[in-house]
Structure formats: structure tokens, C-alpha cells
Amino acid sequence: MATTSREDFNRQLLEFVELCRNLNGPFWSLQKSAIGELYAKNTSSVVMDDETLSREVHITFNEVYSVPTLWFNFYRRDGRPLKLSEIRKALKLEEDSSIPHLTQNEHPNLGVIFFNIHPCNTAKVMKELKIDGNYIARWITIYGAEVGISLPANFFAENP
Amino acid sequence: MPAAFVPFATFCDTTFWNEVNKKKLNEWMLDETPKDIYAGFSIYDTVGAECRISLSYESLGEHSSSSYKGQLSLWNTLEAFKKLDRTSMIKIYGRKIWNSIKSGEWLNDVRTLFYFSFTAFADLKKFKYVYWSCYPAICYPPDIEHNSLVLDDPKPLLDYHFSTGEVVFILAGDSCGKLSRLSEFSSSDQVSLVIADPSPVESTCGWPVRNLLAAISVYRPDWSTVQLISLRGSSKCFSHIFSWRQVETPAECPAVVGWERNVQGKLQPYSVDLSTQFDPKKLMEQSVDLNLSLIKWRLVPDIKLERMLQLKALILGAGTLGCNLARGLMAWGVKKITFVDNSTVSYSNPVRQSLSEFGDACEGRGKAETAAAALKRIFPSIDAQAVRLTIPMPGHTLADSECENLKKDIDLIESLVEQHDVVFLALDSREARWLPTIIANKHRKIAISVGLGFDTYVVIRHGIGNYSPSSSSPANEATEISANMLVPYSQLSCYFCSDVTAPGNSTNDRTLDQQCTVSRPGLSMVASGVAIELLSSVLQYENPLEAPSNICEADESSSLLGATPHQVRGFIFKFQQITPCVRRFERCVACGTAVSEAYAAEGWKFVREVMNSPSHLERITGLDQLQNSVDNVQIDFSEDSDSLMSL
């Protein structure tokens, strides 16, 4: 299935968060927006070039494209968000390579500027992905990798 | 070995400051009384040398199982923040925690041990923030030693932590229980304490353990040791044995430490400028640039957007064309636009000129000033300037008394052209384009003429001035051109090259409808749009000042954005457009060598002479002889022509 409904997204997200916890994956806390929309948040320390940064990642649902969307920011010790060029460097991306469809936008629930990977191509990518299991988990193996989120190796093995 | 503890590091994200902004503006206003605040911790961090504490949008809301409670003191002035007596403050916090320990409150609410303070000053105009956190730790009991060993299976402990939300709990045998049950055990061998430990450092416990040990040693003065399990989510968990020197419990709170150190390890506050995140002007700037960069995603990945973003554009004429040109430039991300115009907004203008309004006409504001002000309203970060000036024109006779002004005006136009990269000639008469053509040619600037008829339009990019003495003879150039069908930018014609007469005063002896440009209203938008896109294509040519034009069909492989034609002529009555390419005319009255040289040599005096007597131009260019020679030509019609005529 390449796209998902809001209802299914909520179900898959709850399952995903639980799976992560049981399999020692990244820790997600479930959040609700002012109008009750469910999304997940992960905040982690990451070390890049000897500097400890705080990485904040959110998974929201995009109604227009009917797919999950990844939002993120990296913060320095003093709370300054990293600029795109700095993130590029921190993620060790080649000078000319780019995270596909990366934009900066207002977070749909928080009204603050976040980087996001635009969902316009997500359905296509999901269609070509030939693995089974939780939809969010499959999706994040692609999109989480861009910001350094990875799932434990046993994630898909233990999960029908 | 002596025990060490990993200190806290506070990370405030922008969503936290966004909440602070909103609350301060709408709710707290000048109220400085401390507010409840919740700081998130994580037992999942495995990197870094400090325990991460996150202040985020939830921090001003309700507490969760992975947060500590504290107080936020937001001061109204930077001075108040700076002169806080932080030594006294930490003593007060320490006493609060000490009271929780002495009274046993901590057994029922362990988070009282981890109470923290966040002091800050927020400049809501400049979006600058200064802050300093304090995580008070009581230096007690004395001489803490510790040993640790790896814990095999923390899964049941993690499950208990998650299902109950307890930050500290006990483990006796195989069963977990609430901390308050600690009273059931008389010996420290019978029970372990488990703490959700935010420390990312293997085998070293986090900062909260200090106050926990202080509490245990006070609660159990007969104990000198305790087993403590440091619970981590994604790294190894350790079981520690802490021991200490037994002393009589002090009546007063012992020494307290805990103001956070800055990146350099000094006891100083943090400060951060978040204007790029909150200042609406900066947000718009970023949005505009990012939106443009979408072109790079798939359509034209290699486009050199910076050539647009850094462009400085001079628009001569702030009328219908000038306004629309500016809007097109602004949409392309151009940040520097200067208008030149000599007139004021009249009542007929606002409906056609996209940067003026009724009020501008009522107030009789200048067209250039009005357009520049409108651009700034639309996009505050744009650098839009206005210059009120009448461009000197051939045939518009000049009194001697006006010479001084003429000289000044020409100097001004020269410096304007010099300071910009591209000049748009969107003037309403032919002769007004004459001097700017000469000056743009002199400074080798991209000059684009846009002109409207009733239902036709023309967009011409003038040939780039070429001052290096050309080594190739005209004959050689001709072969070069025919070989590859390309005319170099320096060989393209200007607006005047096809003329065989000098420009004169075109408003003499004209009726009102002839004097004003009467055109189909949609035309200006079409023509301006074409002019902007001609520029954008030219700018994508490797060296824009060398962008050639194809002599036949426009060559769409010329630049990243396609063709770079010399001219675009449109005929809206048949919705048709052609792209002619015309070579430069050596005797041109504007870009011809004789004129360039005369202007270089005599400057404003030459301009004055032409203003008073346009035929001067025809003399120095030799056009007069050309006209005479045409008059002298005898044309014999052959019989073939006759037969053609009869068809």
C-alpha cells in the first residue's frame, strides 16, 4: 500500500511506537496537536564533529498526499538551530548531493520553522519498497535514514 | 573509587521559545513570578558527555513520565536577569530539596529531589534570549564511593518504568514496587533502588543520583551503602554499589552546587539569537528563497539562482511596464531594485500600474517613490529605491540656465547604471531611451528595452558595448556568423539600430491619444513577463555578457532555461510572437561608434547639443549622407517587375 488514511496512520503509528519500545528502537513520544491530530516526536543527542547536538524529529500525517511526513531540526548547545548547509555537513552529505525534496516550512502543529521532507514523492517511493511490516517502520527506513534514524536489525524479522 | 556524576546540559528548542513568546505576550506580560516548567529527560541517549535536558513546547504545559518539574523565572529586563544573586538563589533551591528529604516528601514524590530552576530574559523585539539553568545538587553524604557491574536483563525494569511512569522505584528480589515501600526494608542488602538515568556515559550515573543518595543517607542514617540500578533504554544498564562515610545528619542544608556551565566550561549564562526563526521579515526571506529553490528539485537542478538573487536592477520608468517588471524581478528573488521616474501617480494610473493605489494619486505621490514603497510593503527585505529625474531627451530644447542641472542629471544616471547589473528601459517615449542606451553601452551593462504599441509589443536586449578594438573585419564576422548562425552579444543591435533618422521630440504635434501610450491593458503584463524571462535565460548563459542570439529559429539549448533571443516581438491581435535577430548598425545614433566616442569625449555638452539639435546626431554618424544617397538612387523597374506588378 503506497498511501494511508488518517485512521490507518494513527493505528500504524501507535503500533510503530510500541514496536520501537519493545525492540529497543528509537524512543518516540506520542503527541496530540491542538485539534487532536496524532503525531510522534523523538528527541535525541547526536554527536557530529565532536559537538553534541540535539536532534528533534516529528512524524506527522499529511492529508493532501495521504502519507507520513518527516519534520526535523538540529539544535546546538545554546539552542541555535542548524542551517541547511550545516546539517548537510553534519550528515556528511556530499557537496552536490541533496536530501531529495527537502524544504523548510512551518510545522503544521507547532507553527515553528522545521525542515521537512516534502511528501510529494513519498507514495511513489513507498510503492517501490518491497518489504513488509508496519507502514511507518517501512517508511522510516527510507526517510529516517536521511537524518540518521535507523531501526534495529531485528525490526522486520520479528514483525510479521 | 570516588563517585562522579554526569551533569545536565539544557537544550532549548525553538518550539519552547515560541511558547515563551506567546505566553509572555498574551498571558504573563509584566508578571515576573516564577511559573511551573517541565524539562524532558531521556534514558535513550548514548552519546555526549552530559545528561540532556530538553525544554520544548510541552515544557510549559503538563508534566509527563519523562520530565522533571522546575520553575521558570522570566525577567522583564536584561539588567534584572544579570543582577540576580545566584548564590542565594541556589541556597534557597537547596533548602527546598533538603526540606523534601527531611520531611520524607521525596518518598511519595521523588521528583521534588530533581527540582530545577530556569532563569531567562527574552527580548521579544529582536528575538534574542539569555538563559541560565540551575540543577541543584546537595553535596551530601561525604566521601561517596562507587562500584558498578553490568546488569543482564533490564527489560522487566523498563516495562515497569513505562507502565507506571515511576522515575525511581525499588527492586526486591524479582519484583518492582513504589519507592514509598522503601520503609519495608531494614537492610540495604534486601533492596535495590532503580532510577531512570539520563546519563549517556557508560557506568557513570547522572546528576539526579546525587540528591537521591543524599535522601537515602538521611532517610537511613544507619545505612552506609545502597544498591542502585541505573536504568537506560538503549545502552547497557549498570548496577552500582554506592557507599559513603556515615555522619550525623546536619540540621541545615549542606552545600549546594548546580548552575550549569557554558560550552567553555565557565559559570556563565547562555545566549541565543533566534531572529531567523521568529522575525517575520526573516521568515519571509527564507520562504521566498526556499520556494525558488524548488526549481532545482526536478525542473532545472543546475540553475544558478544566485545570479537572480544577487542581481541589481535599474528600472527606468515606473509606469505600467516598470511596475510589472519589478513584480517579475521580485518573484525571481531579486533583492535590489531602483526606479527612476519624473512624474506623479495620476488618477488613471492605479488600475493599470500594479504598484500604485488610489491614495497615491490623491496625494500626488511620485511614481518611482510609490513603486518603491509598495515593493517594501510587499516584501520588507527588498532594497527598493526611487529616484525622481527627467531623462534628457533629444529634441527637448534646453535653456542655458538648465545646463548645470543637465550635468548633474547625467552624472546621476551614469552612477545609477554603474551601480546596477541590468537596466530596463520602460520609458514611454522613444527619445527618452536614447541617453540610457548610450550609457548602458558605455558601462557594458545588460540593457533591455520594452515597448508597447496598441496591440503589439517589443522586447530587445541591446548589444553589449564592445570597447576592445575589433580585430576582425566586418567581412570576417559575416562568415563567422553564417558558419554557426550565432550573433555574439556584442554584435546585437540596440533599440535604435534600425533607425535612419535621429530621435526627436515625439510629443510635438500629437493628440492626447497619440502622446499617451494607449495599449490593450493585458499587453504590459505579457511584455514585462517576456522581458523578465528573457533576462532570466540570458543570466543562465555561462557568461551572461556573452550570450549570443541565434539568427534563425531561437535555439532552445542556448542556456539552462532555453533560448536567448535578441528580440521578442508580439502581435496580440493574432496572438503571435516572433524572435528576430538584428545585427548592430555601425552608424547607429545611440550605440554607433561615432556616438560613443563623441559622448566619451564631450559628455554632457554632447548631450546638450543633441537635445537642442537632434540632426547633430545624423551629421556625426553620417546618416545624413546615407539619407542623401538614398534620395539620389534611381530605380529602374525592369519588365519582370512590371509583370510582377500586374499579378
Kindly report the CATH number assigned to the domain that includes residue B42. Answer: 3.40.140.70
Has residue B483 got a pLDDT over 70?
A: no
Residues B342 and B432 in one domain: yes
Domain's final residue, options B137, B160, B178: B137
Domain assignment of residue B276, yes or no? no
Q: How far is residue B48's CA from residue B42's CA, in Å, rounded to a whole number?
A: 13
Domain assignment of residue B610, yes or no? no
3-state secondary structure of B474: helix
Q: Which of B46, B48, B270 sits opposite A78 (nearest CB)?
A: B270
Tell me which residues of chain B, numbers 195 to 254, contact chain A at a CB-CB cutoff of 8 Å. Answer: 200, 233-234
Residues B423 and B308 in one domain: yes
Contacting residues of B for A111, CB less than 8 Å apart: 18
Domain assignment of residue B16, yes or no? yes
Quick one: DSSP state of residue B496? Answer: T
Are the C-beta atoms of residues B214 and B140 closer than 8 Å to each other? yes
Domain that holds residue B13: 5-137
Are the C-beta atoms of residues B186 and B220 closer than 8 Å to each other? no
Q: What is the pLDDT of residue A1?
A: 64
| CA–CA min distance A49, chain B (Å) | 12
Domain assignment of residue B561, yes or no? yes
- Give chain B's mean pLDDT: 90
Residues B358 and B440 in one domain: yes
User: Within an 8 Å CB–CB cutoff, is residue A153 touching chain B?
Assistant: no
Number of domains in chain B: 3
Confidence of residue B1 (pLDDT cuts 50, 70, 90): confident
In sequence order, the 6+-apart residues with CB closer than 8 A to the CB of B628 are none
What is the tens place of the pLDDT at every residue in A23-38?
888 899 999 988 899 9
Average pLDDT over residues B507-522: 70
Helix (H) or strand (E) holding B382: none
Residues B227 and B308 in one domain: no
User: Within an 8 Å CB–CB cutoff, is residue A24 touching chain B?
Assistant: yes
Q: How far is residue B88's CA from residue B136's CA, in Å, rounded to a whole number?
A: 12
Q: What is the pLDDT of residue B200?
A: 94
Confidence of residue B473 (pLDDT cuts 50, 70, 90): very low
User: In sequence order, which ranges of B54-125 are alpha helices (DSSP H)?
Assistant: 78-82, 86-103, 105-108
User: Within an 8 Å CB–CB cutoff, is residue A49 touching chain B?
Assistant: no
- Note whether B13 contacts A54, CB cutoff 8 Å: yes
User: Within an 8 Å CB–CB cutoff, is residue A5 touching chain B?
Assistant: no
Q: Which of B12, B277, B297 sits opposite A113 (nearest CB)?
A: B277
User: Within an 8 Å CB–CB cutoff, is residue A33 touching chain B?
Assistant: no
What is the tens place of the pLDDT at every residue in B424-449?
999 988 899 999 999 999 999 999 99
Q: What is the pLDDT of residue B301?
A: 87
User: Within an 8 Å CB–CB cutoff, is residue B29 touching chain A?
Assistant: no
Q: What is the pLDDT of residue B399?
A: 85
Residues B205 and B347 in one domain: no
**A17: phi then psi, degrees, rounded to nearest 5:** -60, -40
Domain's final residue, options B219, B240, B258: B258
Residues B428 and B560 in one domain: yes
Q: What is the pLDDT of residue B286?
A: 84
Residues B177 and B303 in one domain: no
Q: What is the pLDDT of residue B18?
A: 94
Average pLDDT over residues B214-228: 95
What is the tens place of the pLDDT at every residue in A109-142?
898 999 998 898 899 989 888 778 899 999 998 8
Q: How far is residue B100's CA from residue B67's CA, in Å, rounded to a whole number?
A: 18
Domain assignment of residue B636, yes or no? no
The residues spanned by each domain of chain A are 6-147
Contacting residues of B for A121, CB less than 8 Å apart: none
Contacting residues of A for B294, CB less than 8 Å apart: 103
**Nearest in space to B32 (alpha carbons), one of B69, B82, B88, B80:** B80
Contacting residues of A for B290, CB less than 8 Å apart: 103-104
Mutation target for B interface from A23, A45, A122: give the one with most B CBs within 10 A.
A45
Residues B46 and B185 in one domain: no
- Note whether A45 contacts B56, CB cutoff 8 Å: no
Average pLDDT over residues B507-535: 82
> Which has more confidence, A95 or B383?
B383
Q: How far is residue B76's CA from residue B150's CA, in Å, rounded to a whole number?
A: 49
Contacting residues of A for B287, CB less than 8 Å apart: 104
Average pLDDT over residues A65-75: 95
Task: Look up the CATH number of the domain holding residue B224.
Answer: 3.40.140.100
ipTM of the complex: 0.92
Q: What is the pLDDT of residue A75?
A: 95
Helix (H) or strand (E) holding B647: none
What is the tens place of the pLDDT at every residue in B65-119?
889 999 999 999 999 999 999 999 999 999 999 999 999 999 999 999 999 999 9
Q: What is the pLDDT of residue B471?
A: 42
- What is the third-level CATH fold of A6-147? Yope Regulator; Chain: A, (3.30.1460)
- Note whether A110 contacts B263, CB cutoff 8 Å: no
Domain assignment of residue B634, yes or no? no
> Is the dihedral angle over the CA atoms B593, B598, B600, B601 positive or is it negative?
positive
Q: How far is residue B373's CA from residue A150's CA, in Å, rounded to a whole number?
A: 51
**Nearest in space to B426 (alpha carbons), one of B525, B561, B502, B492:** B525
Residues B219 and B362 in one domain: no
Q: What is the pLDDT of residue B203?
A: 87
What is the tens place of the pLDDT at every residue in B255-310?
999 999 998 899 999 999 999 999 999 889 888 888 888 888 778 889 999 999 99
> Is the dihedral angle over the CA atoms B303, B331, A112, B53 positive or is it negative?
positive
Q: What is the pLDDT of residue B499?
A: 78
Contacting residues of A for B13, CB less than 8 Å apart: 43, 54, 56, 73, 75, 79, 81
- Note whether B44 contacts A79, CB cutoff 8 Å: no
Are the C-beta atoms of residues B394 and B611 closer than 8 Å to each other? yes
Task: Look up the CATH number of the domain holding residue B579.
Answer: 3.40.50.720
Residues B165 and B219 in one domain: yes
Count of CB pairs separated by less than 8 Å, A with B: 95
> Which has more confidence, B102 or B400?
B102
What is the tens place of the pLDDT at every residue in B577-636?
999 999 999 889 999 999 999 999 999 999 999 998 888 888 888 888 877 877 777 666
pTM value is: 0.79
Q: In the block, which residue shows the cell 531521556?
A: B42
- Note whether B274 contacts A79, CB cutoff 8 Å: yes
User: Within an 8 Å CB–CB cutoff, is residue A77 touching chain B?
Assistant: yes
Q: Which of B14, B287, B290 sits opposite A81 (nearest CB)?
A: B14
| CA–CA min distance B45, chain A (Å) | 6
Concatenate the DSSP letters of all residues of chain A into one string.
-----HHHHHHHHHHHHHHHHHTT----EEEE-TT--EEEEEEEEEEETTEEEEEEEEEEEETTTTEEEEEEEEE-TTSPBPPHHHHHHHTT--SS---TTEEEEE-TTT-SEEEEE-GGGHHHHHHH----S-HHHHHHHHHTGGGT----GGGTTS--
Residues B535 and B445 in one domain: yes
User: Within an 8 Å CB–CB cutoff, is residue A113 touching chain B?
Assistant: yes
Average pLDDT over residues B116-126: 95
Domain assignment of residue B99, yes or no? yes
Residues B231 and B351 in one domain: no
> Is the dihedral angle over the CA atoms B560, B566, B572, B573 positive or is it negative?
negative
Domain assignment of residue B542, yes or no? yes
Q: What is the pLDDT of residue B646?
A: 40
Cell of B460: 530587445
Mutation target for A interface from B6, B12, B14, B289: give the one with most A CBs within 10 A.
B14
Q: In the block, which residue shows the cell 490593450?
A: B520
The residues of B annotated with a catalytic role in the active site are: 516
> Which has more confidence, B377 or B554?
B377
Cell of B533: 524571462
